[in-house]
Amino acid sequence: MSGDFLALAQPGVQQLSPYVPGKPVDELARELGIDPATIVKLASNENPMGASPKALQAIRDELAELTRYPDGNGFALKSLLAERCGVQLDQVTLGNGSNDILELVARAYLAPGLNAVFSEHAFAVYPIVTQAVGAQAKVVPAKDWGHDLPAMLEAIDSDTRVVFIANPNNPTGTWFGVDALNEFLQDVPERVLVVLDEAYIEYAEGGELPDGLEFLSAYPNLLVSRTFSKAYGLAALRVGYGLSTPVVADVLNRVRQPFNVNSLALAAACAALQDADYLAESRRLNEAGMQQLQDGFRELGLDWIPSRGNFVAVDLGQVAAPVYQGLLREGVIVRPVANYGMSNHLRITIGLPAENTRLLEALAKVLARG
């Protein structure tokens, strides 16, 4: 007699819907019989440049050691990060992508009877990791599509253990400034861990966004989460990291899986971190592509949410799902965001100039068909 293994799962897990990533190129090619070489994917906020040549060479150099387990402590990468970020080695936690850091926080600090606070339209992983451990999600209504930090502060209660905030936010691209962050951190109770998710921080220049690292020494309840998946172009390798006090890092390492970052990822991240030219070109390409898409949206009579990431959420003024399907038939993959409460929007990753042009031409064609 078989058991009902859904019913036997933890209550929070029973109610979860799995995270749905952007549609892969090969999947669309199979579904519609399209040549994969002709498909443009602008759905997953990936760096269109490809990986840094230095990172690729580092991977080649590491291949001979595939029979060996990776350095479970990630000493070389943690040392580079500590030097670059102005922290001590014992303040760095490595993750299998920054998602791993978010999950470690939930496993370490959340449980049934406790809650996490985060914003409406915020990254889907926040509710997933919260619900998976049986904690309550307190979702605060957004303000102009972005975080309403004063309202989030008001939502904190005696059972709150974690606040997730993203700057810039995914999928809206919205951001808040230095003063807003400082005022928020000043008033958050010291017993509440604030996770500042800065997955897209490298795309911001000129001090327009606060640098979470500058707040670490003043706020022991702050953890800054970052990734190599976006501006550093290593999404497939899954490398992220958290920066916090040594005490918080020690707690996270108690629940972190051994060898959670593989050897190729460690080597590539070390090389990418030292390739300043690649990062500068990523920023330049992103800025030009953002302008290209905004100009195209303006010509099409469409509004969009201003963004400081490598993506932009465009408002179609109608339910976006049929337009998304129409773009798929044109061989262009973008991201529908109805699951974020944004049924009229599509999130579009900044691509290469030719990819952006292809997207805009396909969008004009689909909209013209009605």
Q: What is the pLDDT of residues 263-312, one digit of tens each?
A: 999 999 999 999 999 999 999 999 999 999 999 999 999 999 999 999 99
pLDDT of 1 = 44
Q: How many Å from the N-terminal Cα to the C-terminal Cα in the chain? A: 54
The arithmetic mean of pLDDT across residues 160-167, rounded, is 98
User: What is d(CA 178, CA 149) in angstroms, rounded to the nearest whole number?
Assistant: 12
Report pLDDT digits (tens) over 23-61: 788 888 888 888 888 889 999 999 999 999 999 999 999
Q: Per-residue b/e over 200-235, b at no fewer than 16 CB within 10 Å?
A: bbbbbeeeebbebbebbeebebbbbbbbbbbbbbbb
Contacts of 167 (CB under 8 A, 6+ apart): 147, 175, 176, 181, 196, 197, 198, 201, 209, 210, 212
Helix (DSSP H) and strand (DSSP E) numbers for the chain: 13, 13
